[in-house]
């Protein structure tokens, strides 16, 4: 049946649910240091939200909403991971040594920052990029 489909229930539900999924994925990304979670699960959940968007709408609409080249996203993520690992070399410590500390930020107050979060951000971007590249290349086989 190739007639015009009426997907309004799915599309309206997607508009609400998408933000819940992305919020939860960002939460589990930032909670990764102290609780279960981290870059891999957060990235998979974010790409799950994007796949839901792809199911509810067609591929052109999603490309208009989020004009991202996911192959470049993989490269940026790997650059983050290698960058945080290679930054240790400039301080005369072994490769992949991480630094951390408590820093007083202007609004947020006393915050414990760790360079492992930047490494995790690299993992996050790579996971999103790989998943979305796989799904979009399989999806466009016309």
Any idea how long the chain is? 142
Q: How far is the CB of 5 from other proteins (least distance, A)?
A: 9
Q: How far is the CB of 13 from other proteins (least distance, A)?
A: 5
Q: Nearer to other proteins by C-beta: 16 or 105?
A: 16
User: Rounded to the nearest 5°, which phi and psi values hold at 108?
Assistant: -80, -15
Tokens of 23: 């919020």
Q: Nearer to other proteins by C-beta: 56 or 127?
A: 56
- Burial tier of 129 (Cβ tally within 10 Å: 0-12, 13-18, 19+): buried
Q: How far is the CB of 53 from other proteins (least distance, A)?
A: 14
Tokens of 34: 């102290």
Q: What is the binding site for other proteins (CB under 8 A)?
A: 1, 3, 9-10, 13, 16-17, 20, 24
Q: Nearer to other proteins by C-beta: 52 or 96?
A: 52
Task: Give me the sign of the Cα torsion angle 65, 70, 74, 75.
Answer: negative
Q: Nearer to other proteins by C-beta: 16 or 107?
A: 16
């Amino acid at each position: 049946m190739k007639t015009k489909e009426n997907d309004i229930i799915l599309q309206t539900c997607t508009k609400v649910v998408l933000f819940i999924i992305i919020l939860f994925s960002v939460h589990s990304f930032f909670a990764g240091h102290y609780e279960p979670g981290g870059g891999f699960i957060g990235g998979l959940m974010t790409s799950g939200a994007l796949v839901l968007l792809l199911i509810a709408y067609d591929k052109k609409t999603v490309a208009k909403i989020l004009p991202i080249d996911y192959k470049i996203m993989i490269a940026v993520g790997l650059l983050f991971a290698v960058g945080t690992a290679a930054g240790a070399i400039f301080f005369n410590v072994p490769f992949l040594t991480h630094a951390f500390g408590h820093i007083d930020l202007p609004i947020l107050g006393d915050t414990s920052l760790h360079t492992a979060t930047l490494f995790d951000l690299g993992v996050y971007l790579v996971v999103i990029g790989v998943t979305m590249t796989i799904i979009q290349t399989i999806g466009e086989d016309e």
